[in-house]
Amino acid sequence: MDIKILGTGCTKCKKLLETSEQAAKEMGIQINVEKVTDMEKILSYSVMSTPALVVNGVVKVMGRVPSLDELKKILS
């Protein structure tokens, strides 16, 4: 599963990365994580607020950090 964390590297972006990795670990799934900080690339996903989570090319969450349980649902 390919995951992209879109954001400038702020605290919320780091929290989204940590929580995504934790959810994947608890679910026993492997993820490939890429951090995207380039604003042009972020805008190419039509994301106007960060952090954002992209799963297999589809924007699932933007502008907030979802809970661990919500992330598990998104990744399942």
Q: Which residues are catalytic?
A: 10, 13
Q: Quick one: 53 exposed, middle or buried, by C-beta within 10 A (0-12, 13-18, 19+)?
A: buried
What is the Cα gyration radius of the chain? 11
